[in-house]
Structure 1
């Protein structure tokens, strides 16, 4: 069974080490801080053998060089990561990468950046989604356009509801404030927001999250619902999504 080690790094990122005890392979899921990843791996007694990058931003691929120099890890990434780091294996939508005997399916979740991918391990009911979707939110649309980003979110929505989503940032409390503004009559959202506040007051993380819960409470994943379309406009989900994303950008 895979082991996942989650730890905070930089100001609000989460780092993830994915370890297969059978093969003793360990994947760094993104690399916000190479030195911290190396420290965390050493403390666990693991050696990083692979790097899986979701996108090119420095708080996701900026630590590649330090980790590769220290461990010889192989970089598995979408082509855009070449902006920051050499890549050993280029991946895109539909590809499968392995950690030991465990398969991860690569999913196009572009919109935040144009080459953003997620890694879904169906047998383990987990997905590493980078900055495509957050607990109660989604990434800022830096490079993509609304239809593209909505299609990406829809691909995430189609995963089994029991999938655990490993998001890259601790943004949930701020996201909850906008979500309550966007969807004020959602009782499950209100309960979720209270739980988030309590967790943060105790210094606890609010991620990972479950897709099942996000489908009921995350306004960006609900852009096709009659309630959200009535409140935010748009004849198509992508238009409603665009209105929500623009509102969040200026919230």
Structure 2
């Protein structure tokens, strides 16, 4: 099984580095900046074997061109419908790829962007900006209905699946989650742990799918009571009492939180 380490970039990005104990090859996920990746590779005597891209935003793709100058033969996996031009191998929903002898399933998760994909395995997932611990990506291109459909795919993953989100947003997300569910005991306990980690400048990730199902309001949009404390001005007019309509109200609330 691959080992995963975080390479910090910008103010709150994580570029995930995949390695195995018996190889000096490494793969990275969403390298928005080449410099910290190159520094990490040099420090640990690693050679870059390939890149996984989840979506086209520059803080996830900005370092690809420079990395390709140093490692011109590597594979760059990414979504087939992406406007980012640096992808060498384009992926669609249901594709399988092998990275360091670990097989990942590709699922399309439009919402944050229309080209967003996630790399999933029963043991771990790289969800990019689709799923954050305690939250979800802002809907820049897709709709709430699309994003809820994407979330349903993630909700079907094993509860022990580790979630390697692309940003350190957990503490802020939990402040919002507590405004939605102030009496959720799992959320309150998790928030204490996250506060302690951040007070020591420690990473809060990975989370797990099971954890998110307990504390992430967006993952819990199918609960009929989830919007009870959402301000009236943020409530989306519901027609069929669908979970995605709750999701839309939560996202409206979060955008103005």
**Would you say the 8 A contact 2:129–2:137 is kept in 1?**
yes
The worse-fitting range, judged by mean Cα deviation, of 140-149 and 93-102 is 93-102
- Summarize the Cα distance change of 1:229–1:247 in structure 2 as closer, same or farther, 3 Å threshold: closer
The worse-fitting range, judged by mean Cα deviation, of 43-52 and 111-120 is 43-52
2:97 aligns with 97
Deviation at 1:225, TM superposition (A): 1.1
Aligned pairs, number: 248
How do 1:2-151 and structure 2 match up within 5 A?
2-22=2-22, 24-72=24-72, 73-81=74-82, 83-122=83-122, 125-151=123-149
> How many angstroms apart in 1 are the aligned matches of 2:107 and 2:26?
21
The worse-fitting range, judged by mean Cα deviation, of 184-193 and 164-173 is 184-193
> How many angstroms apart in 1 are the aligned matches of 2:186 and 2:5?
29
> How many angstroms apart in 2 are the aligned matches of 1:221 and 1:170?
18
Deviation at 1:21, TM superposition (A): 4.3
2:207 aligns with 209
Deviation at 1:184, TM superposition (A): 1.3
Q: Could you list the runs of 5+ residues in structure 1 that have no partner in the other structure?
A: none
Deviation at 1:176, TM superposition (A): 0.9
3-state SS of 1:221 partner: coil
Q: Provide the alpha-carbon RMSD of the alignment.
A: 1.5
| Equivalent position to 1:182, from 163, 180, 183 | 180
**Structure 2 residue 244 is matched with structure 1 residue 246:** no
**Would you say the 8 A contact 1:20–1:99 is kept in 2?**
no
**Would you say the 8 A contact 2:179–2:229 is kept in 1?**
no
The worse-fitting range, judged by mean Cα deviation, of 11-20 and 56-65 is 11-20
**Would you say the 8 A contact 1:32–1:59 is kept in 2?**
yes
**Would you say the 8 A contact 2:31–2:59 is kept in 1?**
yes
| Equivalent position to 1:168, from 166, 169, 190 | 166
3-state SS of 1:162 partner: coil
Q: Could you list the runs of 5+ residues in structure 2 that have no partner in the other structure?
A: none
> How many angstroms apart in 2 are the aligned matches of 1:94 and 1:52?
16
> How many angstroms apart in 2 are the aligned matches of 1:46 and 1:102?
18
3-state SS of 2:120 partner: strand
> How many angstroms apart in 2 are the aligned matches of 1:145 and 1:178?
21
Deviation at 1:216, TM superposition (A): 0.4
1:124-163 deviation digits (Å, cap 9, x = unpaired): x010110001010000000000110000011111100000
The worse-fitting range, judged by mean Cα deviation, of 97-106 and 151-160 is 97-106
> How many angstroms apart in 1 are the aligned matches of 2:46 and 2:247?
41
**Would you say the 8 A contact 1:17–1:41 is kept in 2?**
no
1:199 aligns with 197
What TM-score, normalized by structure 2, do the two folds share?
0.92
1:12-48 deviation digits (Å, cap 9, x = unpaired): 1011111134565421111111121111112121111
1:98-120 deviation digits (Å, cap 9, x = unpaired): 11321010011110000101101
1:162-220 deviation digits (Å, cap 9, x = unpaired): 00000000011111111000111211111111111111111111111111111001000
3-state SS of 1:185 partner: coil
**Would you say the 8 A contact 1:17–1:26 is kept in 2?**
yes
Question: After TM superposition, where is structure 1 displaced by more than 3 Å over at least 4 residues in a row?
Answer: 20-25, 229-234
